[in-house]
Amino acid sequence: MDLYEHQARQLFAEHGIVVPNAEVTDSAKEAREIARRLGGRAVVKAQVKTGGRGKAGGVKLAADPAAAELTARQMLGMRIKGHMVGKVMLAQPVDIDREFYVSYVLDRAAGRFLAIASAEGGMEIEEVAAARPEAVARIPVDPAEGVTSAKATEIADAAGLPPQTVDVLVRLWQVLVREDALLVEVNPLVRTARGDIVALDGKVTLDDNARFRQARWGADDDEDQDPLEAAAAARGLTYVRLDGEVGVIGNGAGLVMSTLDAVAGCGARPADFLDIGGGASAQVMADGLTVILSDPAVKSVLVNVFGGITACDAVAEGIVAAVDRIRLTKPLVVRLDGNSAARGRAILAERAHPLVEQVTTMDGAARRAADLATTA
């Protein structure tokens, strides 16, 4: 269950993380009054459960209350990556000195969490990760140990973050654990001209299995939800629609994120984040492929699976059953490694579907999927 930015900020504030003063509204007229209460100038931010708002015109600085009303009026009702803007948040501007990126994400395949951090946050973090992966630190976090001050210092040092961020890293971990989150992300986390560390944005995904403990959030007007994300959610899939042309399926958030980076490094853009977790049945694969192939922007699909508890032969059988069940219309590149990989490759080779091909390495598979997408 994804939260809106204003809800994520509420969680941050409850756990002692500094956020700018802000208010939310669905009325352009009220936006003028909110801007006046915030001191005149305000950052107007569309409230949708997707990224890329800034580049899509969903984040703008209003110089005065009248401009805030006009900006809110322009944003309300617009669509960003398929999500309709039903509310806007107005926040006090911050005098930024430096921008950083920090997040914690569940790595199902490894059975742990992953801290991802960079001293180069902001709208271009995806480009930074693709062009200079060494600028983005990825530090494993043992769930039993958690993020202590020592662990937070390790993360900050690895990413080149200033010492003042250590306390925030500890508190963000507390958000993740106490709120049953699978993902906690701040982009950007900033240092102000006064030296304060402030979370300017927030993304939080809660574990659907913990809804009974997180009932205060409810469904919270999901009318903005992307149709493909809604279809995936109805099938029990962990899916996030992106704006690229290579569909990505993997088992485990960490592996899927690495696959996204690999695709981007090959000159293509991922079209989605789809984590099948520990399940790779024919129904799961069919559901995943159905959702991805429903996106007209997708030109190729990459399935990247590292067999652990779920063996690769089960994944292969699921793929075979899925492509026999649905009409496969785009090329499918499959990389299987780990438990029963040889058997899984043999199953796919025996089926010999004309649109399914195998590559043995993740980088090679990403490169092939990218080539197929960019030459389609």
Rounded distance between C-alpha atoms, residue 357 and residue 352, angstroms: 8
Structure tokens at 138: 């990825």
Distance (Å, whole) CA 201 – CA 301: 31
101 is catalytic: yes
Closest to 253 measured CA to CA, from 49, 102, 105: 105
Distances (CA, A) of 35 to 18, 70, 323: 20, 12, 54
Please confirm, yes or no, whether 239 is among the known catalytic residues: no
Sign of CA dihedral 278, 280, 281, 283: positive
- Of 5, 23, 101, 317, the active-site residue reads 101
Q: What's the chain's length in residues?
A: 376
Cα–Cα distance measured from residue 302 to residue 357, given in angstroms and rounded to the nearest whole number: 10
What DSSP designation does 326 have? Answer: S
Q: CB within 8 A of 346, min separation 6: which ones?
A: none
H or E segment at 350? helix 341-351
Give CA–CA dist 192/211, Å, rounded.
36
Q: Which of 5, 23, 120, 185 is catalytic?
A: 185
CA R_g for the chain? 21
Contact 26, 76 (CB under 8 A): yes
Amino acid residing at 74: Q
Report how far apart the first and last C-alpha atoms of the chain are (Å, whole number): 34
Point out the residues that are catalytic. 101, 185
